[in-house]
Structure formats: structure tokens, C-alpha cells
Amino acid sequence: MAFRPLYDRVLVKRATAEQKTTSGLYIPESAKEKPQEAEVIAVGPGRRKKDGGFAAMSVSVGDKVLFGKYSGDELKLEGDEHIVLREKDILAIVG
């Protein structure tokens, strides 16, 4: 993929939504909520510091992260939906 985020931006791919509940009921497409968990696909070099260097990013490719419900910008790359987030929009790294 020829996509490289700039500065403190991160490209993530959202996890797939659950097809059924824990009790076994299937969830229709219209009732599904988009998951707030994603895998990091690409990471920018970091936020630009005053001395001209870059601050190190706290996430890396392959990390599973949680992000805010209304964070980031959605886009399609190679037919798959992805989200571009700022590092500050990432709430946590999961397991």
C-alpha cells in the first residue's frame, strides 16, 4: 500500500463488528454499531518539535488500539475502509 501518514497521524483498520450477541441472537446490519477497536496499519514519523526533530510515536504498526466514537476521518483504500487518526485521539493500546 502506498499510503504514509504525515506527522502524528495513524492509519488504522477497524475491527469487524460482531454478527451475533452473546446469547446467540443475530444482529441486523441496521442495528450494528461500528467497533471502536482497530489495528494500526501505518504510523507517521511523529509530532514536529520546536528544535525541528520529531517526537516519538507511542503506537506502532500491528498494535490494537481503542479510539473515540467520533474521532478521525474515514477513507477507502484498496476497497477496505480505514480511518486516519491523530495520535491524541487514540485512547489506549489493547493487549
pLDDT 10s digits, 6-28: 888 999 998 776 666 677 777 67
Domains defined along the chain, listed by start: 9-14+33-94 (2.30.33.40)
Which residues touch 55 (CB under 8 Å, ≥6 apart)?
8, 46, 47, 48, 49
29 pLDDT higher than 70: no
pTM value > 0.85: no
CA distance 76 to 5: 14
- Confidence (pLDDT) at 5: 86
30-72 per-position pLDDT tens digit: 666 676 888 999 998 888 888 988 888 889 899 999 998 888 8
